[in-house]
Structure 1
Amino acid sequence: MAVTDEAIEKIKAMIVSGELGPGDRLPPEKELAERLGLSRNSMREAVKALEVIRVLDVRRGDGTYVTSLEPHLLLEAITFVVDLHDDDSLLELFAVRRMLESQATGLAAGNATAEQATVLQDEVASVDPETVSLDDLVAHDIRFHREIVRLTGNGYLASLIESLSSQTVRARVWRGLTEQNATARTLSEHQAIADAIAQHDSALAMSLATAHVAGIERWLRQAAEA
């Protein structure tokens, strides 16, 4: 194991064991290096690496701290990777989104209170299919799916799906511009999903969510072939 990797593993072990917790300040570099039996150079490189992936926060003139370790911070690296995708990999992103969102929708159906389900149904009802603009439809689509994921109560799942969904907005706009009845179809599918969640029917909610995302995949594949 490279010395930098060893340093990373030892700092990680301190966090995993609870010796260092979210918001805690690390001992000074010299003290920590001596304590872990590592060189200051390898310790410095390890801290830089852990800062990049948002595990540590280096505050110049103050010290180095453990971040909040919240999911949205730790998963930023995945968002960076997704940002670099090309159009050829978009279908793969949709496939991953379909798998994750179907499970998330099933969890939401099991977790949602009557009040939360009503909020979701009201979101769908607030959109008039006859007058809604494409921008407003996409904004509704993002709010609708974000609210479903929030109902899972799983921060890591929510962050993963958010990082994927943000990169599929362009495809949703394309579909809205080119596919006939895209607005009515989207709202109808959203209504069915919201109703399944209100009925706490997890199996139905999962199936509907799968078909909903798969519909965009199918359109995208046909558009690519054309």
Structure 2
Amino acid sequence: MNEKRRQIIEKLLEKINSGEVVTGDRLLPERQLAEAVGETRPVVREGLIALEAMGVLDIRDRQGIYLSSSEENEAKMMLHKVRGWPADMLSRVMEVRQIIEPLATAIAAVRRDDKDLSKMRECLRNLSELVEEPGEAAARESLIWNTTFHTVIVESAENAYLSRIYEGIHTVIEHSLSLMRIGTAPEKEGGPRSVYHDHLRLFERIEARDSAGAELCAEEHLRHSINAMVALGQIVPASNLFGQKLIGQARLL
């Protein structure tokens, strides 16, 4: 994320948290927001789009800019506080991701709309800027956009139950994804550069409404992530259901 965009996001969040630019659950119009933060409307608009992609805001056509559901945000905060997972939790969660994500991605390729694609592009733009940046700060920021990208894909499938399940799954693995980014060279499987290109291929298949291609890209991306986690000792090799061909066998039953 470039410095200008980072600054406008921080300014907007500060104003939102203070209540200065919020009436109920609705933000002031874009023009007044620009005056409040001392920026031009195009700059503010870019920040608002980024905050929507991160799940903070809900921009509704011709209706205004709203805060995301407080109940949903509270649930996300509670999930971040969960502690004491069993030692094999991450391995089990990666198994669940392999069961859910490819088919969810295939459905998203059919049901996605232009607004979904816009959110995905915003995530990819920020991820591309972070690919070569080292350190924990870049890893944490990359994690936000990585998680948001996958969440937008699942939400594009337009199934509220699936979205709720997936929200819990990604919370469990966030820390491990951050460690994977730090511990893996950019060009290696599971490294920042590899992950970005996986995401780009996923987006291209979804944009093209190529359901089968999107499903295959999701499977490949998960294989890369699992291999990187195994190399770092985060999960056991048996977590790779695709490698064991267990998912393919189950579909034949």
Q: TM-score, normalised by structure 1?
A: 0.60
Paired position in structure 1 for 2:146: 141
Paired position in structure 2 for 1:130: 132
Contact 1:123 1:144 in 2 (8 A): yes
Separation (CA, whole Å) in 2 of partners of 1:126 and 1:216: 20
Paired position in structure 2 for 1:88: 88
- Residue-by-residue CA offset, 1:167-191 (whole Å, 9 max, x unaligned): 0112101111111111111111111
Separation (CA, whole Å) in 2 of partners of 1:206 and 1:83: 32
Paired position in structure 1 for 2:46: none
Separation (CA, whole Å) in 2 of partners of 1:94 and 1:180: 21
Paired position in structure 2 for 1:159: 164
Greater Rg over alpha carbons, structure: 1
> How far 1:214 sits from its partner (Å)?
2.2
Paired position in structure 2 for 1:215: 224
Separation (CA, whole Å) in 2 of partners of 1:93 and 1:115: 29
Separation (CA, whole Å) in 2 of partners of 1:173 and 1:134: 6
Q: In the alignment, does 2:199 pair up with 1:196? A: no
| Residue identity matched to 2:217 | L
Separation (CA, whole Å) in 2 of partners of 1:220 and 1:209: 17
Q: In the alignment, does 2:93 pair up with 1:106? A: no
1:151–1:171 distance in 2 versus 1, CA, 3 Å: same
| Residue identity matched to 1:109 | A
> How far 1:84 sits from its partner (Å)?
4.9
Separation (CA, whole Å) in 2 of partners of 1:130 and 1:176: 11
Q: How many residues align?
A: 150
Contact 1:108 1:151 in 2 (8 A): yes
> How far 1:85 sits from its partner (Å)?
2.9
1:208–1:86 distance in 2 versus 1, CA, 3 Å: same
Paired position in structure 1 for 2:30: none
Contact 2:151 2:167 in 1 (8 A): yes
Paired position in structure 2 for 1:170: 175
- Residue-by-residue CA offset, 1:79-137 (whole Å, 9 max, x unaligned): 79x86532323112101112101111111101112443243123202331234711110
Q: Could you say which structure has the greater relative contact order, defined with CA pairs below 8 angstroms and 6 or more residues apart?
A: 1
Separation (CA, whole Å) in 1 of partners of 2:83 and 2:107: 27
State the Cα RMSD in Å: 2.6
Separation (CA, whole Å) in 1 of partners of 2:84 and 2:99: 21
What 5-or-longer segments of structure 1 have no aligned partner?
A: 1-71
> How far 1:215 sits from its partner (Å)?
1.7
